[in-house]
Amino acid sequence: MIIVTGGAGFIGSNLVRALNAAGHTDILVVDDLRDARKILNLSACRIADYMDMHEFAARMAAGHDFGPKLEVLFHQGACTDTTEWNGLLMMRTNYDFSRHVLKYATERRVPLVYASSASVYGAGREFRVSEDCERPINVYAFSKLMFDRHVRQVSGTFRSPVVGLRYFNVYGPGEAHKGGMASVIYHFREQLKSGDEIGLFAGSDGYGDGEQVRDFIHVDDIVAVNLWAWRHGARTGIYNLGTGQARSFNDVARAVLKWHGRGRIQYIPFPDHLKGSYQSYTQADLSGLRAAGYEGSFIPIEEGVPRYLDAIA
């Protein structure tokens, strides 16, 4: 048995598909389907069972065993809306629930691979896995950082590997249900479906128009590292997961325009509500991941953007 929390979501469903491709079908998907659009992500997947996250939490608390042999628990489930300021909701979903998952897995010697976030670095310029660099600027980032800190505090008690992966800007198939939280590539495509312009933010934080930069990583790379962490028994730790290469929004927009063969870029005023809580620069320091033994290369946007657009065309 393999458990994937958030298994109907963007990254979780891609992970389920990759597990299927590797011959694994004894999979328990845990999720919250109040937004039932996510079921489309699982329509072609083979899984053994589905369980609501609240029932899953209750069964964990009761000491329920979910299968005769639980091989790994991939914890991808979270509230990922970085504009959400309901701290009670965010901490219950991303912190409290994650602590229960951690306790359940480690007490049973089950490897745990969980999703953290590069948002914990805030508006800083350094993206090393170090407390010196961690400065969250929204409650989503705070919830993720608090769980990472909890993992650090109790890591001496673990009886199985626990690997946290700090995702940078992930894009790829399966994110349509995320709405405003979907990647810019998805939104650029949507803009070109109804017009001939891609809107980018005008200059901010010392960056020129559209020159804010992020570390954009294709979901296939995210899945590959999750599977590597499990199969290779990666040592307990928290690792950055990006490409290690920052690219501008202009670069991404041009890749989308090239695939469509038409369109132009229009710069729009930077939104007031994002001032002070927006990352204008991210770039993963991959030294920890490389030291842990991951040798895979990462998909550049010139390849990843058309791969994504081809998949959803």
Question: Domains in the chain, ordered, with CATH?
Answer: 2-168+217-242+285-298 (3.40.50.720)
Q: pLDDT tens, 164-218?
A: 999 999 999 999 999 999 999 999 999 999 999 999 999 988 899 999 999 999 9
Confidence at residue 295, expressed as pLDDT on a 0 to 100 scale: 97
d(CA 199, CA 281): 19
Active site residue 69: no
From 95, 121, 140, 281, the catalytic residue = 140
Q: pLDDT tens, 225-253?
A: 999 999 998 899 999 999 999 999 999 99
Q: With pLDDT > 90 as the criterion, what percentage of the chain qualifies?
A: 89
Q: What is the mean pLDDT of residues 119-129?
A: 92
Confidence at residue 211, expressed as pLDDT on a 0 to 100 scale: 97
Q: How many CA atoms lie within 13 A of 71 on its CB side?
A: 14
d(CA 283, CA 286): 9
Q: With pLDDT > 70 as the criterion, what percentage of the chain qualifies?
A: 100
Least confident span in 34-43, 106-115, 162-171, 268-277: 268-277
Q: What are phi and psi of 188, to 5 degrees?
A: -65, -40
Active site residue 186: no
Q: What is the mean pLDDT of residues 129-147?
A: 96
Confidence at residue 121, expressed as pLDDT on a 0 to 100 scale: 95
Q: pLDDT tens, 47-105?
A: 999 999 999 999 999 999 998 899 999 999 999 888 788 899 999 999 999 999 999 99
What b-and-e string marks burial along 41-79, b requiring 16 or more CB atoms within 10 Å of the CB? bbeebebeeebebeebbeebeeeeebeeebebbbbbbbb
Q: What is the mean pLDDT of residues 149-169?
A: 97
Confidence at residue 234, expressed as pLDDT on a 0 to 100 scale: 85
Average pLDDT of the chain to the nearest whole number: 95
From 178, 207, 258, 267, the catalytic residue = 178
Q: What is the mean pLDDT of residues 111-124?
A: 94
Least confident span in 35-39, 47-51, 261-265: 35-39
Degrees, nearest 5: CA angle 247-249-252: 75
